[in-house]
Structure 1
Amino acid sequence: MHANNEVGTVQPIAEIGRIAREHDVLFHSDAAQSAGKIPTNVDELWVDLLTIAGHRLYAPKGVSALYDRRGVELEPLIHDAGHEGGRRAGTESALLAVGLGAACALAQDLAPMARVRALRDRLWRDLQRHFGDRVILNGHPDRRLPNTLNVSFVGRIGAETLAGLHGVAASTGSACHAGRIELSPVLAAKGVPLEIGMGAVRFSLGRYTTADEIDAVGERLSHVLANAA
């Protein structure tokens, strides 16, 4: 995974790829989260295979793409006809393919991501100002996607925080399974304590997020957590 979908941490794919190439090991990376947000060059990443998902970069839902380095032999996903270079039989959707191509062309311009990063950092500063040491950043402080902010509110359950954020689209790293609330596997792997990880909330910004929306999130969070105190 080029970049983690929950905390946004960007992995050292190029370093791993070079090692894999030196030992003749095929190397695939999932760039669904990173494409369109940070540079994603297959040569610089030293990958043999790389996948992207259209809906992550404003393309239509239901379309994705696989890059495979010249000379890499793949077993067909669906056998029979020779569609998709012999990799997947079946008639493709020209509409979806064109939509993905157009989205990828637009996504090459990463300039808007500087504005997204600034808005993300604005929200983080706002949360720090309101909550001080009661809010904790999850993920690498610098080497992460420009649109992702995953934080834990100390003494809170993420799902309860989200329940009060009416009109805000956010998510929590925890999941409910058969009535049990569990710590996110990602946060658990990072060694985040249970009492901290259970308070995690993820905010994901987009190219069309505005400063007013960011400020509104900070205000609503302040109101929700103040009422819960």
Structure 2
Amino acid sequence: MYMDNSATSPINPEVLDAMLPYLKEEYGNASTLYTLGIHAKRAINNARIQVAKLINAQDDEITFTSGGTESDNMAIKSTALAQLKTDNPKKHIITTQIEHPAVLNTCKYLEEFGFDITYLPVNEEGLISLDELENAIRDDTILISVMHSNNEIGTIQPVKQIGEIAHKHGIVFHCDAVQSVGKVPVDVEAQNIDILSLSGHKINGPKGIGAIYIKKGVKLDPYIHGGGQENSKRSGTENVAAIVGLGKAAQIAQENLDDAIKHNQQIRDAIIEKTTARIKDTYVNGSLDERLPNNVHLRFSGVEGESLILKLAQKGIYAATGSACSTHNLQGSHVLAALGITPALSHGSLRLSIGPENSIDDVDYIVDAIDETVGYLRSISPLWDNKTDEYIGDRFERPMDEEDEHCYLE
């Protein structure tokens, strides 16, 4: 049972079928003028339309990239580099403590060039404060970059209101929507998004392909220079087969979105309800209300997450835990640290991310496997008192210090 669709998702057979001709007989370079090239160019343009429809954009506002990481880098670095050309460059960017490393590490890199980054905190559910966002805006703020939903805990930010605040102050709003596109409705017009990042392999498309939406009127300098492909925004010979695959995946996601949301929510809610009811000291990380329909993120006191993942894999369940922020000092997930969860507790987390191949009929097996595995791991854990059946790790847990709270910078 593959339950790690937030890491990557299996390619849809229809997507693969759409790609195959462009890996075989339709192998032309889209920049050439003869028939093979014309066919490739048409295929790229059709995929651009399919991606645009998924997020309610215009097709000429879509630029293809190698994935979400490149799109995030392009959005932030290109905005920043444009300022360096001016006589009085503005160098302030606002983001959050729980962004994907593609955003956090890009912002950290820009600090080397004199940019000042504000990392907004979040509450215990992983949501930013709109008041704190507005209070953080300065005269030299050039960009607000806040993810649509978090890749670990699945919390969905108030994107529309964030965009409203940004536009009220004349600031560009970039949104990393890699985990949201194809999972929940994403509408760049209605949600006031100026730049958006998305990825193919999160929506049952191929790896190595993504896109960036750039609203008309928002100017970004070219990120990769060369032959002027993608309207000179991102040069390099186009990966036609992958672009076609992303387009087809976007089309399928759009057509099936309502059914997919219902399917995912049913499985998500059943897993959360049954697991929290059966297993003592089980907690849900993130918001229960503002949450991706395919995300389950649980925390088990007295359990080590990596052992939990390996044991579940032996039972045929592939899942994930919180990503390590710094393995050298055993800090936990930077996302969970931002929620105020101590390192020892954050290490006991489990992320299950649901896809179309999962079934409600699988839930009982999954919950049984988690119950059995957590019970075994607690029986050998020094943080669990088997006589009283209680978590005792808080007796040894050191208080969170500044290094823990700011491990998103590591």
Q: What band does the TM-score fall into relative to the shorter chain?
A: over 0.9
| Aligned residue among 60, 77, 84 for 2:206 | 60
Q: Is 2:295–2:354's contact at 8 Å kept on the other side of the alignment?
A: yes
Distance 1:158 1:178, change over 3 A: closer
Q: Is 1:174–1:182's contact at 8 Å kept on the other side of the alignment?
A: no
Aligned-partner Cα distance in 1 for 2:339–2:326:
21
Aligned-partner Cα distance in 2 for 1:48–1:174:
29
- Code of the aligned partner of 1:154: S
1:124 alignment counterpart: 272
2:195 counterpart of 1:46: no
Partner-residue secondary structure (3-state), 2:362: helix
Aligned-partner Cα distance in 2 for 1:190–1:93:
40
Aligned-partner Cα distance in 2 for 1:78–1:64:
15
- Code of the aligned partner of 2:317: V
1:146 alignment counterpart: 293
2:317 counterpart of 1:168: yes
Q: Is 2:203–2:253's contact at 8 Å kept on the other side of the alignment?
A: yes
| Aligned residue among 305, 313, 338 for 1:189 | 338
Could you tell me which runs of 5 or more consecutive residues in structure 2 were left unpaired when the two chains were aligned: 1-146, 380-410
**Cα deviation code 1:159-201 (max 9, x no counterpart):** 1222211211111115285554321110110112333222111
| Aligned residue among 14, 25, 41 for 2:171 | 25
2:221 counterpart of 1:75: yes
2:151 alignment counterpart: 5
TM-score, scaled to structure 2: 0.54
Paired residues in the alignment total 228
TM-score, scaled to structure 1: 0.94
Aligned-partner Cα distance in 2 for 1:59–1:174:
23
Aligned-partner Cα distance in 2 for 1:22–1:150:
35
Aligned-partner Cα distance in 1 for 2:265–2:327:
37
Larger radius of gyration: 2
2:349 alignment counterpart: 200
Q: Is 2:324–2:334's contact at 8 Å kept on the other side of the alignment?
A: no
Q: Is 1:158–1:174's contact at 8 Å kept on the other side of the alignment?
A: no
Q: CA deviation at 1:212?
A: 3.0
Superposed CA RMSD: 1.5
**Cα deviation code 1:100-121 (max 9, x no counterpart):** 1111111113122211111011
**Cα deviation code 1:57-90 (max 9, x no counterpart):** 0111111011111121111012232210110111
- Code of the aligned partner of 2:324: A
1:215 alignment counterpart: 364
Give the share of equivalent positions with the same residue, in percent: 37
Partner-residue secondary structure (3-state), 1:84: coil
Q: Is 1:4–1:10's contact at 8 Å kept on the other side of the alignment?
A: yes
1:105 alignment counterpart: 251
Q: Is 2:183–2:293's contact at 8 Å kept on the other side of the alignment?
A: yes
Q: Is 2:200–2:206's contact at 8 Å kept on the other side of the alignment?
A: yes
Aligned-partner Cα distance in 1 for 2:327–2:264:
37
Structure showing greater relative contact order (alpha-carbon pairs closer than 8 Å, 6 or more residues apart): 2
- Code of the aligned partner of 1:105: Q
- Code of the aligned partner of 2:306: A
Distance 1:103 1:188, change over 3 A: same
Q: Is 2:300–2:349's contact at 8 Å kept on the other side of the alignment?
A: yes
Partner-residue secondary structure (3-state), 1:85: coil
Partner-residue secondary structure (3-state), 1:62: coil
Aligned-partner Cα distance in 2 for 1:26–1:178:
35
Aligned-partner Cα distance in 1 for 2:172–2:333:
29
Partner-residue secondary structure (3-state), 1:44: coil
